[in-house]
Amino acid sequence: MTNPTRAASVAEMETSFQRELATDRWAAAETAYALAVRTRDAGDWDQSREWVAQCLRLLEGFPGDTEEQVATTRVSVGGVLLPNYLHEGVVRDRFGQLA
């Protein structure tokens, strides 16, 4: 994911997720969201559902009382645009029955 003009593969994004999980759980939540989008758009509903669940689990560990607390730190991950704010409501709204 070093080239910002090229969309990262799912495998590259999963590798980043594993690294972030150990070092930066907020970044991991953002990457899980991006993986949920990428796999949903590819029609892999089961995998997307798993990434949605992973994202929601990670978000449970963060406060969400203010916009500053739920503001994403990146514009995109692996070529997937992130919402400005990432919290349970946004995830459930964007993924509907997959959430």
Q: Distance between CA 27 and CA 29 in Å, rounded?
A: 5
Mean pLDDT over 26-54 rounds to 97
The verdict on residue 31 lying in a domain is yes
Task: Report the number of distinct structural domains present in the chain.
Answer: 1
- At 3 the three-state DSSP class reads coil
The verdict on residue 51 lying in a domain is yes
- At 30 the three-state DSSP class reads helix
Answer yes or no: is pLDDT of 2 > 60.
no
CB 20 within 8 A of CB 90: no
Q: How high does pLDDT run on average in the chain?
A: 93
The verdict on residue 2 lying in a domain is no
* R_g over Cα of the chain: 12
Q: Distance between CA 7 and CA 81 in Å, rounded?
A: 11
The verdict on residue 3 lying in a domain is no
Domain that holds residue 70: 10-98
The verdict on residue 4 lying in a domain is no
The verdict on residue 1 lying in a domain is no
Mean pLDDT over 17-23 rounds to 97
Between helices 25-41 and 88-95, what is the axis angle to 10°?
Answer: 10
Which helix (DSSP H) or strand (DSSP E) does residue 91 occupy?
A: helix 88-95
pLDDT, position 99: 77
